[in-house]
Structure formats: C-alpha cells, structure tokens
C-alpha cells in the first residue's frame, strides 16, 4: 500500500508563494480530482508530490518517510507521472514508448523478457491502444497520444498515478475514455490523482476532490460537498452548482459573478 502525503507544504518562486501551507494525503482506493482556477498551484503541487521541484517548507512523505529519503528509482517504483500535454520529442513507436514505462521498475533490461512483454501488452489492452502499437507517437491525435502515455504509466506498475490535466484539449469521447481508464485502475492497492478543469467530469468520476485557490486548499471532500455554489462563487467567481440530469451529475456555470469591488 502506498500513501503519499503533503504536510504544510510551502513552495516559493521569485518571492511568490505558489504553495502556501498545503496538507493532504493520497492513497489507494481513491480517484482524487485536483481542481481550481488557472494559477491556483495545482501543477506545482503535483510536481512537489513527485519530488520534481524543491520545497521551501513542510515536506512530502511517501509511506510515512520524507520523500527526500528516497532515491529517484524508489519513488519511480511507487509513483507514476503523466505530464501535461504528453510530451514526446522523437517519433518513436507506441510500443517503444510504452516500454519506457518499464524503466520505472528497473525492468528495462528485461523488456524483451516475458514479464516486460506482458506488462506492455496489458497496458496497451487496458488503454485500447493495441492497434496503434507500431505507429509513431508523433503522428497520433492528442487523444490517442494521451492514452499511449497512460499505457506507459500503467506498464510501469506504480500503485500511485499523478496525472496533470489528462483530458485538457481532448474531444468528449476521449475525455470519457481517459477518465474511465483512470477510474478503472483505482483499487485496494492503487490510487489516482488527476488535475482537472472540467467540473462535470470531476463530479462524475472522482470520489474525492481538492479545490485549490491561491496556493491553498479551499475545500476538500466528496464532490457534493466541494462543488457547493458558495465554493464555486468564492474560488472561480462564477454562479453555478452541481445538478442532476437523468440521475447524472452535471456542473453548470450559469454566469460570471459580479465583480465585488
């Protein structure tokens, strides 16, 4: 079981507090949605949780021990990372890119071996990208590319997966596909954290939401608690709220709030 937790986390850049005393924990069995307006510090929080950026106060703990105690390879074995925009610099084949995920558990030299091959095949199947395996990643659509990068994370087998804006810029079908895969991998041993802008998807797929504003956590809990009109008004400055249509959650933003000056 892998538990990732932040304790009073502070990150300062150029005199600005990007994260200002954040405490939260992430573990198995949960798909946590990290929501909040642009510039609220969601990506910074994710990178701090992965140990990709230095923190100026507080600490991140992995299974109870400070993240700084771990070697990069030990973190990689436990926490996977889906970067925003699914970057890929060379036109490598989908299969090869997914195989890079095996680096995370030190399996790369056995990539040709049965375990590695099986992990790659499972990851391609789980994301429905098997038919793309010989295509160059750079020729794929944004949605296909995101699915392939998720497959890369799945092949690594880390129990925790942190995904930065996995559905931004994707068409509706791919958004649903991606959210489905992220939810399906959540289990008694595995958890997912996803930065999201689409509040309807956040309400429908996540069982836990963290609403961030100005580097702090404004509210957290189940979607119906977090997506209250009062919270949306205070953080996003919109009039809106959670509704149900045919029994399904929909978050409607009715109108911008009047500027209270």
Partner 1 sequence: MKLSRTDRSFDIPFPFLLAGLVLLTLVLFAASVVFGRAGVLIPNAGILIGAPTTPEAVILRELRLPRAILALVVGGALGMAGAALQGLLRNPLAEPGLVGVSGTAALGAVATFYSGLAAVYPLALPLGGMAGAGLAVVLLYLLAGRDAPILTLILAGVAINAMSGALTTLALNLSPNPYAAFEVFFWLLGALTDRSMDHVDLALPFITLGMGLLATTGRGLDALTLGEDVARSLGIGIGGLQARVIIGTALAVGAAVAVSGVIGFVGLVVPHLLRPAVGHAPGRLLPASALGGGALTLAADIAVRFATDGPELQLGVLTAMIGAPFFLALVLRTRREGQ
Given candidates 76, 150, 195, 227, which one binds partner 1 under the rule CB under 8 A?
A: 76
228 Cβ neighbours under 8 A, 6+ residues apart: 219, 241, 242
Please tell me the distance from the alpha carbon of residue 93 to that of residue 6, in angstroms, as a whole number: 37
Given candidates 2, 12, 93, 231, which one binds partner 1 under the rule CB under 8 A?
A: 93
Work out the widest C-alpha separation in the chain, in whole angstroms.
65
Region 9-48 residues binding partner 1, contact defined as CB under 8 A: 47
Please tell me the distance from the alpha carbon of residue 236 to that of residue 225, in angstroms, as a whole number: 16
Q: Is residue 35 within 8 Å of 147, Cβ to Cβ?
A: no
* Cβ nearer to partner 1, comparing 74 with 180: 74
Q: Which helix (H) or strand (E) holds 207?
A: none
DSSP secondary structure string for all residues of 40-68:
SSHHHHHHHHHTSS--SEEEEEETTEEGG
Q: How far is the CB of 72 from partner 1 (least distance, A)?
A: 5
Region 168-227 residues binding partner 1, contact defined as CB under 8 A: none
Given candidates 3, 10, 103, 252, which one binds partner 1 under the rule CB under 8 A?
A: 103
* Cβ nearer to partner 1, comparing 48 with 227: 48
By the rule CB under 8 A, 96 interacts with partner 1: yes
* Cβ nearer to partner 1, comparing 164 with 198: 164
Please tell me the distance from the alpha carbon of residue 148 to that of residue 193, in angstroms, as a whole number: 18
Please tell me the distance from the alpha carbon of residue 255 to that of residue 89, in angstroms, as a whole number: 41
Please tell me the distance from the alpha carbon of residue 121 to that of residue 211, in angstroms, as a whole number: 36
Given candidates 33, 36, 41, 80, which one binds partner 1 under the rule CB under 8 A?
A: 80
Please tell me the distance from the alpha carbon of residue 242 to that of residue 45, in angstroms, as a whole number: 26
* Cβ nearer to partner 1, comparing 104 with 201: 104
Stretch that binds partner 1, among 33-41, 83-91, 205-213, 243-251 (CB under 8 A): 83-91
Considering only CA atoms, which of 234, 232, 237 is closest in space to residue 200? 232
Given candidates 29, 39, 66, 72, which one binds partner 1 under the rule CB under 8 A?
A: 72
* Cβ nearer to partner 1, comparing 133 with 197: 133
Given candidates 14, 15, 54, 90, which one binds partner 1 under the rule CB under 8 A?
A: 90
Given candidates 10, 121, 136, 250, which one binds partner 1 under the rule CB under 8 A?
A: 136
Considering only CA atoms, which of 63, 3, 34 is closest in space to residue 191? 3
Interacting residues toward partner 1 by CB under 8 A: 47, 50-52, 71-77, 79-81, 83, 87-93, 96-97, 100-101, 103-104, 106, 108, 134-136, 138-139, 149, 152, 156
């Amino acid at each position: 079981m892998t538990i990732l937790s932040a304790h009073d986390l502070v990150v300062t850049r150029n005199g600005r507090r990007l994260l200002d005393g954040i405490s939260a924990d992430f573990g198995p069995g949960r798909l946590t949605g990290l929501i909040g307006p642009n510039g609220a510090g969601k990506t910074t929080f994710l990178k701090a949780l992965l140990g990709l950026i230095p923190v100026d106060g507080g600490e991140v703990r992995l299974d109870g021990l400070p993240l700084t105690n771990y070697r990069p390879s030990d973190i990689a074995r436990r926490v996977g990372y889906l970067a925003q925009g699914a970057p890929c610099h060379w036109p490598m084949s989908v299969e090869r890119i997914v195989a890079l995920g095996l680096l995370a558990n030190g399996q790369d030299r056995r990539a040709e071996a049965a375990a590695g091959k099986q992990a790659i095949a499972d990851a391609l199947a789980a994301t429905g990208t098997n038919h793309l395996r010989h295509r160059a990643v750079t020729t794929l659509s944004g949605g296909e590319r995101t699915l392939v990068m998720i497959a890369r994370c799945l092949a690594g087998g880390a129990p925790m997966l942190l995904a930065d804006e996995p559905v931004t810029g994707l068409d509706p079908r791919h958004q649903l596909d991606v959210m489905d895969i992220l939810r399906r991998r959540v289990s008694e041993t595995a958890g997912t954290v996803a930065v999201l802008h689409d509040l309807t998807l956040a309400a429908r797929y996540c069982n836990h939401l963290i609403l961030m504003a100005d580097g702090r956590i404004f509210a957290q809990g189940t979607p119906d608690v977090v997506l209250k009109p009062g919270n949306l008004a205070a953080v996003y400055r919109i009039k809106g709220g959670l509704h149900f249509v045919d029994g399904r959650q929909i978050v409607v933003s009715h109108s911008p709030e009047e500027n209270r000056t």
